[in-house]
């Protein structure tokens, strides 16, 4: 198990609206880097908001957090830095929030960020990928940009909107993973049956980490 984890390719992720942002910020301060590992195996790396880098030969920009003034909002310096980027130079924009108008809430409110929509219109990336709204949504077009929203990776065991268990076995949600062919830019949501085989919330990461340290 330890050897397999150590051979995993590096997985990049950005901030949503439920992380320990202070702790993640401290990792960047300590490492003095825009991309830092967060686990003992170096498999998962957090990308600071507003950073752009080459991934698989594509120029990818990252903007975490959500547009929620008074509660949580985009990092203003990060948003401004991306807004100052020359249009057409970003191939893929990865965000947590989604563009305005992508869906409606159970109360009928329009969901999505107007500021993110403006950023997409400015950058004109070939692809935008977001999340936050817990359901697969896309493709949608914003000019030359094709936009996709991923489903929630693992739905909760229970949902306040319905009494019966929603995901009692903590299975990975279909549509929460997407695959991009960088040659054709075809994007595909993963609905494969093997997703149902990945489940459970009792993984002993501390034990695995201790074994890794003792080797």
- Which domain CATH number covers 79? 3.60.21.10
Q: Is the residue at 181 inside a domain?
A: no
Q: Is residue 75 part of a domain?
A: yes
pLDDT tens-place string over residues 114-126? 999 999 999 999 9
Q: Please give the C-alpha separations between residue 198 and each of 169, 194, 201, in angstroms, as whole numbers.
A: 9, 7, 10
Given the structure tokens 């008074």, which residue do they identify? Answer: 70
Q: Is residue 166 part of a domain?
A: no
Secondary structure (H, E, C), the chain: CHHHHHCCCCEEECCCCCCCHHHHHHHHHHHCCCEEECCCCCCEEEECCCCEEEECCEEEEEECCCCECCCECCCHHHHHHHHCCCCCCCCEEEECCCECCCEECCCCCEECEHHHHHHHHHHCCCEEEECCCCCCEEEEEECCEEEEECCCCECCCCECCECCCCCCCCCECCCCCEEEECCCCEEEECCCHHHHHCCCCCCCHHHHHHHHHHC
The predicted pLDDT at position 194 comes to 84
User: For residue 82, how many other CB atoms are within 10 A of its CB?
Assistant: 22
Residues in the chain where the model's pLDDT stays below 70 = 1-8, 201-215
Give the pLDDT of residue 213.
62
Q: Provide the whole-model pTM.
A: 0.88
Decide if 15 is inside a domain: yes
Inside any domain, residue 210: no
In this structure, is residue 133 part of a structural domain? yes
Position 50 in a domain: yes
| Structural domain span for residue 130 | 2-153
Domain membership flag for residue 175: no
How confident is the model at residue 45, as a pLDDT?
97
Q: Token pair of 40, please?
A: 């003992």
Residue 1: the pLDDT is: 54
Count of domains observed in the chain? 1
Whole-angstrom distance, CA of residue 111 vs CA of residue 201? 30
Which residues is 181 bridged to in the sheet?
186
- The pairs formed by 4-8 with CB atoms below 8 angstroms and a separation of 24 or more are 5/41, 5/43, 5/208, 5/212, 6/41, 6/42, 6/43, 6/212, 8/41, 8/43
What pLDDT shows up at residue 197?
78
């Amino acid at each position: 198990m330890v050897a397999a984890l150590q051979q995993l390719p590096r997985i990049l992720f950005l901030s949503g609206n439920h992380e320990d942002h202070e702790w993640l910020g401290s990792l960047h301060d300590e490492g003095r880097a825009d991309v830092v590992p967060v686990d003992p195996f170096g498999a998962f790396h957090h990308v600071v908001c507003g950073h752009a880098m080459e991934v698989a030969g594509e120029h990818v920009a990252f903007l975490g957090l959500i547009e929620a003034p008074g509660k949580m909002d985009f990092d203003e310096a990060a948003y401004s830095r991306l807004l100052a980027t020359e249009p057409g130079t970003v191939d893929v924009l990865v965000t947590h929030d989604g563009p305005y108008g992508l869906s409606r809430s159970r109360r009928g409110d329009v969901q999505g960020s107007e500021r993110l929509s403006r950023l997409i219109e400015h950058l004109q990336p070939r692809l935008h990928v977001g999340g936050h709204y817990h359901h697969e949504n896309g493709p949608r077009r914003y000019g030359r940009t094709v936009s996709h929203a991923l489903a929630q990776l693992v739905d909760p065991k229970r949902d306040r909107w319905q009494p019966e268990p929603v995901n009692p076995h903590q299975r990975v949600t279909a549509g929460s993973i997407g695959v991009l062919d960088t040659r054709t830019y075809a994007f595909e949501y993963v609905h494969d049956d093997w997703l149902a085989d990945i489940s459970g919330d009792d993984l002993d990461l501390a034990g695995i980490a201790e074994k890794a340290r003792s080797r």
